[in-house]
Amino acid sequence: MTFGKELNENHSIEMIHRFLDSGGNFIDTADVYVGGESEKIVGKAIKERRSEVVLATKVRMRVGPHPNDFGYSRRRIIEGVEQSLKRLNTDYIDLYQLHVWDNLTPIEETIRTLDDLVTSGKVRYIGCSNFLAWQMMKALSYSDFNNLVRFISVQPQYSLINREMDREVLPLCKEENVGVVPWAPLGGGFLSGKYRSGNVPTSGRLANGVGESSWEYRANNRNFNILREIESISSEIDKTPAQIALNWLINKEEITSPIFGATSMEQFEENIGCIGWNLSSEQWNRLDDISRLPSEYPTRFIEKFKR
């Protein structure tokens, strides 16, 4: 999301190449990021290194003023793939994701269209993002019953301060063997350690964000308690709060890989420093305990009858 916005084209390409040179291979974008500029920049960056990349993009959000410029109709998906392929300067997309549920288009139409795209070779695999558990299961069941392509991944918001997916989505993914690639693994920057209670930011993503990404949404007592625990562990080991939050996520059983965005090369280097080491079991559990959601029905009721 930062490519072509917080980072200009040259710096974005430099960052992508640094990522690939460091052994990374998964790059995630979307057709609506910076009005398509993000896809164009990614396409330029990987032109000579396409075989090294697992390339992911998304469809669903509005890309124009007309009724067929959003959603998951057969027409929109086919147009969306062709447009993304052109911007990405490639002839196939490794992972094509549904950006958020579309209540206007039957999931049957959407899945059959995606199956045709996989059969054609333009798409290798499909995934979803920001889906509820029942929405995912409805799609998976339709795919399985009809021997059609099924979701191999979901991209939800998930971090130490956003663990709502623990209730339904993560158990479903574990049961159905669906990968989890969380967005906002640092809570929109909240877990970077640069924010303090009572000090409202005047610049940056949290200062300018709305809804999920706003300071009003992030700045609560629970989240600051979690941040203080991260900073306590940071003082015990030679790692930054951001690296600690990412390392916790990497080592959570259901998580395949977090997706982080960086607005500078310094931030990129800090975030990529979350690999190559592990929190101790005691440190990992401290973070898990303080961020765990309260027990809810029916989960707490079902737990009593587990054998």
Which CATH number goes with the domain that contains 42?
3.20.20.100
**What does the alpha-carbon distance between residue 45 and residue 297 come to, in Å, rounded to a whole number?**
48
**Structural domain count of the chain:** 2
The reported pLDDT for the residue numbered 51 is 96
Same structural domain, 133 and 195: no
The reported pLDDT for the residue numbered 172 is 97
The reported pLDDT for the residue numbered 200 is 75
Active-site residue (options: 33, 72, 96, 158): 33
pLDDT in tens, 168-210: 999 999 999 999 999 999 998 899 888 777 677 766 667 666 7
* Average pLDDT of every residue of the chain: 93
Same structural domain, 191 and 151: no
Residue 162 lies in a domain: no
Same structural domain, 139 and 259: no
Mean pLDDT of 70-86: 96
pTM for the structure as a whole:
0.92
pLDDT in tens, 2-15: 999 999 999 999 99
Does the annotation mark 33 as catalytic? yes
For 103, the domain range is 1-155
Of all residues in the chain, the percent with pLDDT exceeding 70 is 96
Same structural domain, 197 and 247: yes
Residue 5 lies in a domain: yes
Residue 13 lies in a domain: yes
Mean pLDDT of 17-23: 95
Same structural domain, 252 and 127: no
Same structural domain, 129 and 47: yes
Mean pLDDT of 255-275: 94
Same structural domain, 192 and 250: yes
Same structural domain, 24 and 104: yes
Same structural domain, 197 and 100: no
Same structural domain, 40 and 95: yes
Same structural domain, 281 and 208: yes
